[in-house]
Structure 1
Amino acid sequence: MSWLIAVVFIGVYIGMALGRWPGLAINRTGIAVIGAVILLLSRAITGDGALAAIDFATLAVLLTLMVLSSQYAASGFFDWIGHRITHLGGGPRGLLAGVIAVCGVLSAVMTNDVVVWAVTPILISGVLARGLDPKPFVIAAACAANAGSAATLIGNPQNLMIAEFGHLDFGAFLLACGVPAVMGLVVVYGVILRSPMMRAGAGAEAGTEAGTRTGRQDAAGAVSPLDKTILTKAVIATFAVIGIFIFVEERALWSLLVVAVLLFSRRLPTDQVLGRVDWHLLALFVGLFIVTGAMSQDDAIARLFHDVLISLQINQPAVLAAVSLLGSNTIGNVPLVMMLLSLGPDWSETMLYGLAVFSTMSGNFLIVGSVANIIAVEQAKKAGTVISFTDYARIGIPITLISLALSLGWMTLISWGVS
């Protein structure tokens, strides 16, 4: 069955790279599910093997973070924070700094995808009200969300997988990856501030001051007040999740307890809370877990991939950074990390830190490098702002290359562990 596993694996990961199979209206989630079903029906992987391949701990924590973000959305927090960002003083520079700081910090505790999805529409309306071009600010939100999410174990899906795989400590991870994350946010600000797209609209706000005042007043009146009760519950739950990651070994089970507590409500219906959960992303994870699990459980294929990665010297930081850059912008950073963890060499703790930082920073290179980028661009399009592949690449490529160089220097500085 090795040949069938290899064919399915290649077909699925080509689909991850292209976003769909040519001629068919099947997205990445559908491709992963179909691949898993083929392997199960053909007995290329057994039911027990499939269950063993699925990382339920990662899925449980990811579900918890989605439900937590749903709680924040229900409280009106995202509307409120988006309104506050767009009303910052200091002109376009102050607005840019605010977008980057807020999206970066929020992504470290709420996952980058959710933050971008919630903030982008409000950000666009507020920026337009100030007479500015929304494009650099939307790109800033996406890039900052990616960079900020690198700081913590719960910042993005790939970090969750890496954390569960290596049983990493929350504090140690923050110390190792927080510095590259902060440097990444600074790079995002510096590159976008000097970009032609940003400079072209730098004087627009001053030239449309009257319209800006009117826009701000209109936006202020349109924002609903915060539901402090729901928000308080969300904040307490956030600290609980962080506490679980710091002090508890059974993270998945205790995280699900947080979900149960959030569902236990007199005001928020279960349908509303669970309706914001990205079930498609969870299904994508399940499908990919089974496909990569079939590969890792086949001795011949697993040995081949292991030998190839060893020959590439992937335990060297520069090589891992290059692989992360290439893989994240072809098959995507989540499928890449899943594949490397399943089929790669023995991973030292510092190598796992490097994989987390490099795969996350690489997501800023192109629109397709990160789900957060795709969400930001799609949300912008719905709001009438079209960000082309070239628009994004002109900013994303220098941000990524500079961020990776700085991250590579940092990872080398903290004594890279070679397995």
Structure 2
Amino acid sequence: MDITVIIFLLVYLALMLGYLPGFRVDRTGAAVIGALAMIGFGRISPEAAWAAIDYQTLGLLFGLMIVSGAYTVSGFYPWVAAKVASMQVSPPALLAILIVTGGALSSVLTKDVVVVAMTPLLVAITLSRGLNPIPFLLGFCFAVNTGSVATILGSPQNMIAAQTLNLSFTGFMKIALVPALISLPVVWATVSWLYRNRWTLDTVSTGPATPAAAPVENPPLDRLETLKAAVITVAIIAAFVFTDWPREMVAMSAAAVMLVNRRVASKDVLGTVDGNLMLLLTGLFVVNAALTATGLPEKVIHELQAAGIDFSDPATLFLVITGLSNVVGNNPAVMLLVPFIPHSGESDALGAALALGTGFSSNLIVFGSLAGIIVVERAAAAGIKISMREFCRAGIPVSILCIALALIWIAILT
């Protein structure tokens, strides 16, 4: 077997399992090692490797992460969590509020930043009220995943698809917004029914480090910085909708404005950027380019098309990306497929199919999305164990219902 294929398979095996068997190498490490191995073995030249890295997508993602991170540094996320979770309402009503909040935030801000900021706060606040944190954490996680499909801004995979297929902001949203909105009551109804008798703290066992004994100290809300971030977010969306300026330049310019500050240290805002994700994508650009140079992916795609799998059909693309994203992950799945999707008048529909497929299937298993991993790991650090069985017990029915919803919506559109 060709060394290029071997390296590619080892990298994607690590993406599937979360680590490289026999080594302490995680997904990001595997992608970086794979890229360097492709160059070292001469399977791609250094010049070609640099050219393969899509700086436009990385620039867009980096800029939007900076803007989203500004909300963390300004104390906005803790303020929202405290306001919402402290409302004197019943547990099902509180869950509904958190689901709407998660869906709304993830549609205009990078969803992974939202989950990182909100998870420990939700744990602390629910425990302080004597509530079982698990249904609220799962509901929030599911809503973030499904709500993020509404716009290009919602997730890295949306941005990758948008940049590669040159999707319009409004065209994408017109197709993806409705199912994203409908998914939120689906998440609420499913989680509410499954946890209808398990809302209180005495129905869950916590670990030794219970945050109820040591409340989280949150930074006070900096209203001026939050207002600045909000104005810049609105300006980004307006530029995406009403101008043809390069999106990556808009996002990077917005990031520069956020970093020029007399009140907040730039290192604090930069610290919110997911560097591992940036390195993961960089490595995968090189690994995928090396494999593409062999002609093997094109051959496989042509054989699949000959077998009746039409990647220009939104429903077919939705089903393919749904399965693939739960094997290798959302971002790698989109990166693998987008080079072979036709750039036609149906690009907005195809891009939305990619977003719906990855977002709506993300809740099947813990490792179906980075948001799921973040919620489980951060909850565990706070003394709350969410097992794979517990996650799937709610995630599988949520995903099945949302996938069915998306297929109906796509059928209506086509």
Q: Same fold per TM (> 0.5)?
A: yes
Residue number in structure 2 paired with 1:333: 330
In the superposition, relative to structure 1, how do residues 115 and 308 fare at CA in structure 2: closer, same or farther (>3 Å)?
Answer: farther
Whether contact under 8 Å (1:333, 1:369) holds in the other structure is yes
Partner Cα separation in structure 2 for residue 45 and residue 222 of structure 1 = 49
Task: Provide the residue aligned with 1:265 in structure 2.
Answer: 261
> For each residue in 1:253-275, what CA deviation from the matched residue of structure 2 results, as whole angstroms up to 9, or x when unmatched?
22211111111111222221211
| Alpha-carbon distance in structure 2 between the residues aligned to 1:42 and 1:285 | 21
Alignment match, 2:206: none
- What is the SS of the residue equivalent to 2:132? coil
Distance 1:193 1:331 in 2: 30
1:243 aligns with 2:242: no
Q: Contact 2:142–2:187 (CA<8 Å) still a contact in 1?
A: yes
Greater mean deviation of Cα atoms: 94-103 or 40-49: 40-49
Residue 319 of structure 1 corresponds to which residue in structure 2? 316
Separation in structure 1 between the aligned mates of residue 72 and residue 260 of structure 2, nearest angstrom: 17
1:170-209 alignment to 2 at 5 Å?
170-195=169-194, 198-202=195-199
Aligned pairs for 1:103-114 (under 5 A) are: 103-114=102-113
Greater CA deviation, 314-323 or 262-271?
314-323
Whether the aligned pair in 2 keeps the contact of 1:332 and 1:369 (CA below 8 Å) is yes
Q: CA deviation at 1:305?
A: 2.4
For residues 351-362 of structure 1, what are the structure 2 equivalents within 5 Å?
Answer: 351-362=350-361
Separation in structure 2 between the aligned mates of residue 202 and residue 367 of structure 1, nearest angstrom: 22
TM superposition shift of 1:317: 4.2
Cα distance in 2 for residues equivalent to 1:345 and 1:304: 16
Superposition deviation, residue 353 in structure 1: 1.6
Match of 1:209 in 2: none
Distance 1:308 1:188, change over 3 A: farther
| Offset at residue 62 of structure 1 (A) | 0.8
Equivalent-residue separation in structure 2 for 1:202 and 1:39 (angstroms): 51
Cα distance 1:266–1:204, how it changes in 2: closer, same or farther (>3 A)?
A: closer
CA distance in 1 between partners of 2:25 and 2:302 (Å): 33
Q: 1:287 to 1:204 in 2, by over 3 A?
A: closer
CA distance in 2, matches of 1:238, 1:153: 13
2:120 and 2:382 in contact (8 A); partners too: yes
Cα deviation, residue 225, structure 1: 3.1
The letter of the residue matching 2:153 is I
Report the CA distance between 1:91 and its aligned residue. Answer: 0.7
| CA drift at 1:89 | 3.0
Deviation at 1:224, TM superposition (A): 4.4
Task: Calculate the TM-score normalised by the size of structure 2.
Answer: 0.92
Report the CA distance between 1:303 and its aligned residue.
2.4
1:276 aligns with 272
Question: How far off is 1:318 after superposition?
Answer: 4.3
Distance 1:105 1:322 in 2: 26
Quote the Cα distance in structure 2 between the aligned partners of 1:412 and 1:78. Answer: 37
Partner of 1:208: none
Q: Partner letter of residue 201 of structure 1?
A: R
Alignment of 1:358-397 (within 5 A): 358-397=357-396
Cα-Cα RMSD: 2.0
Measured in 1, the distance between the counterparts of 2:217 and 2:104 equals 25
Q: Which residue of structure 1 lines up, in the alignment, with residue 302 of structure 2?
A: 307
Matches within 5 A, 1:121-270: 121-195=120-194, 198-202=195-199, 223-246=218-241, 247-270=243-266
SS of alignment partner, residue 194 of structure 1: helix
SS of match in other structure, 2:269? helix
Gaps of 5+ in 2: 203-211
**Uncovered stretches (5+) of structure 1, i.e. residues with no partner:** 206-214
Cα offset, 1:203, TM superposition: 6.3
Q: Separation in 1 of the partners of 2:328 and 2:342?
A: 20
- SS of 1:200's partner is coil
Name the counterpart of 1:287. 283
Name the counterpart of 2:205.
none
Contact between 1:75 and 1:226, CA under 8 Å: does it hold in 2? yes
Distance 1:22 1:346, change over 3 A: same
Stretch moving more, 38-47 or 276-285: 38-47
How far does residue 78 in structure 1 lie from its aligned partner after superposition?
0.8
How many angstroms apart in 1 are the aligned matches of 2:91 and 2:301?
49
Q: Which residue of 2 aligns with 1:32?
A: 31
Distance 2:370 2:394 in 1: 17
Partner of 1:212: none
In the alignment, structure 1 residue 60 sits paired with structure 2 residue 59: yes
Q: Compute the displacement of 1:186 (Å).
A: 1.5
Alpha-carbon deviation of 1:343? Answer: 4.4
What is the CA distance between 1:222 and its match in structure 2?
5.5
Contact map agreement 1:131 1:204 (CA 8 A) in 2 = yes
8 A Cα contact 1:293 1:342, kept in partner: no
Q: Is the 8 A contact 1:306 1:343 kept in 2?
A: yes
> Over residues 72-116 of structure 1, what are the superposed CA-to-partner deviations in whole Å (9 max), with x where a residue is unaligned?
111111110110121123210111001100010000111111111
One-letter identity of the residue aligned with 2:247: R
Cα distance in 1, alignment partners of residues 218 and 32 from structure 2: 40
Shift of 1:319: 3.4
Identity of aligned residues (%): 36
Which residue of the partner structure matches residue 292 of structure 2?
296
Native 8 Å contact 1:75 1:227 kept in 2 = yes
3-state secondary structure, aligned to 1:199: coil
Name the structure 1 match of 2:72: 73
Contact kept? 1:192, 1:395, Cα under 8 Å:
yes
CA distance in 1: counterparts of 2:157 and 2:251, whole angstroms: 17
The alpha-carbon distance between structure 1 residues 346 and 14, as it changes in their structure 2 partners (threshold 3 A), is farther
- SS of the residue aligned with 1:257? helix
Q: Which moved more, 1:365-374 or 1:347-356?
A: 347-356
Which residue of structure 1 aligns with residue 207 of structure 2?
none
Structure 1 residue 140: Cα displacement: 0.8
Partners of 1:47 and 1:245 in 2: CA distance: 33
CA drift at 1:202: 3.8
Cα distance between partner residues in 2 of 1:110 and 1:121: 18
CA distance 1:130–1:257, change in 2 (3 Å): same
